[in-house]
Amino acid sequence: MGALDLLLWHAIHTESSESMAKRLLFLAPGPPCTRQGGGALRMVHLLRFLGSRFPVDVIVPARDAADEVSHLFSEAAIDVTTVPLQGPRLLDRLCSIDPYSKDRALTSVVQERLASGAYAAIHVDTLSMMPYVPEGTVVPVVLDLRFPSQASEFRRLRGGQQGIGRSNRLIHRLKLRLFDRWSWPTTYCVTVASAEERIRCERAHPGQRVLVVPNGVDCRAIRPKPDQVMRSPILLFTGDMGAEHNIDAAVSLATEVFPAIRREFPTAELRLVGRHPDARVSRLAGQGIVVTGSVADLHLHLREASVYVAPYVGAAGARVKLLEAMAAGLPIVTTSPGIEGVKVQPGRDVLIADQPSDMIESIQTLLASQPDRERFGQAARHMAEIWYDWSRCLWPLESLYQPLVAPRQNPPESTAVAC
């Protein structure tokens, strides 16, 4: 953002600032996007919801993405500013104990905005953006934590995860814990994706206001399968295949579960669909296992799948990919941690299997029975529609921001009238 852009922005936002409604400043860690899913997709729907109710300014660390991002919010009161990153100075990198790098250009833009006095609240998307909130900020800060519990990641490292870089990841997690302790006292409210995450947050940070804002799914965009006729058995697992919890799930599914399915159903196929496949995932390809990498149309794989399988080990709130499978009307086999934060009843809406042998049995049952696939697929779609459509699950944000950004005006004082 150049000097001319800053002057133009100030001209628009500070002219008659006393009479202008206060705005919401949204700090995004990357471009909101409908193609990636996960956090980028959650940001799209959060911004559409907020921008339909309040004036919002979004700051995005990216180059040449302003038009693409603005197009997503053409019908909302949202101004988008993209900031090309300059990176931290060498001395800053050497001396910082912060687990997140802090960019000079982005820091400058955020400080300029807050100095204008135009904002009633700051929405910080994930801990990685907290370093950009200046110390001593009096504007209420809302921190959206949509990632898996840091505690579960720390336990996984402590439990003996192998591979090069384990000690580096452990140091990074220790930094995260220190940074987490420093950040929370500065927040007005923390939003999480599930009631279980709220309980953990309140236990770790007594007195902190924590609000549940569930993940969701667009049930109008993802339509249910037209039928459950199985032309060829296809098991589907989706997600960022570079994320550690998805790597663990994919490896477990491919090595501990799928071989038994393949013996019973020789033409069965396991599809691991998602971007950034780690080498541990890529090596699984072959013998009926397909590793796709990024795909242009996830809906195609959802329509072709027979069963959605997600053998998650750790809890992470309501996972968007699981919700997408529910919206697609797929019968689902997952673990107890896999449905944390999801309002489903095991045995009615999904099948739960915490051991590989139980997962094998559940998958084989579904593959052998079209009526069972239809029953569980319809139940999953129903729960997605009534609980997790984005149009329903973001309403807690309105009651959170209404008093801050658009407080109700006090009625004018009545004039005394002589009797």
For the stretch 189-211, pLDDT in tens is 999 988 888 998 888 888 889 99
Q: Name which of 157, 176, 174, 168 is nearest 100 in CA terms.
A: 176
Show the 3-state SS of the chain. Answer: CCHHHHHHHHHHHHCCCCCCCCEEEEECCCCCCCCCCHHHHHHHHHHHHHHCCCCEEEEECCCCCHHHHHHHCCCCCEEEEECCCCCCCHHHHHHCCCCCCCCHHHHHHHHHHHHCCCEEEEEEECHHHHHHCCCCCCCCEEEECCCCCHHHHHHHHHCCCCCCCHHHHHHHHHHHHHHHHHHHHHCCEEEECCHHHHHHHHHHCCCCCEEECCCCECCCCCCCCCCCCCCCCEEEEECCCCCHHHHHHHHHHHHHHHHHHHHHCCCCEEEEECCCCCHHHHCCCECCEEEEECCCCHHHHHHHCCEEEECCCCCCCCCHHHHHHHHCCCCEEECCHHHCCCCCCECCCEEECCCHHHHHHHHHHHHHCHHHHHHHHHHHHHHHHHHHEHHHHCCHHHHHHHHHHCCCCCCCCCCCCCC
Structure tokens at 112: 């300029």
pTM: 0.80
Name 262's Cβ contacts closer than 8 Å, sequence gap at least 6: 268, 287, 288
Q: Is residue 37 left, alpha or beta, with left meaning phi > 0 and alpha meaning psi from -120 to 50? A: left
Distance CA(319)–CA(324), nearest Å, equals 9
Q: What is the CA radius of gyration of the chain?
A: 24
Q: Locate tokens 């019908």: which residue?
A: 75
* Cross-strand bridge partners of residue 142: 123, 189
The whole-number pLDDT of residue 103 equals: 87
| Mean pLDDT, residues 96-122 taken together | 85
**Whether 115 contacts 9, CB under 8 Å:** no
| Mean pLDDT, residues 312-328 taken together | 83
17 CA to centre of own chain: 34
The whole-number pLDDT of residue 70 equals: 77
| Mean pLDDT, residues 11-28 taken together | 65
Distance CA(346)–CA(350), nearest Å, equals 5
Superfamily of domain 3-213+394-405: Glycogen Phosphorylase B; (3.40.50.2000)
The whole-number pLDDT of residue 150 equals: 39
134 CA to centre of own chain: 25
The CB density around residue 78, as the number of other CB atoms within 10 Å, is 23
- Which has the minimum average pLDDT: 93-107, 325-339, 341-355? 93-107
The fold for domain 234-391 equals Rossmann fold (3.40.50)
The whole-number pLDDT of residue 186 equals: 73
Average pLDDT, the chain: 82
Domains of the chain, residue spans:
3-213+394-405, 234-391
More confident residue, 386 or 2: 386
The answer on pLDDT for 149 being more than 70 is no
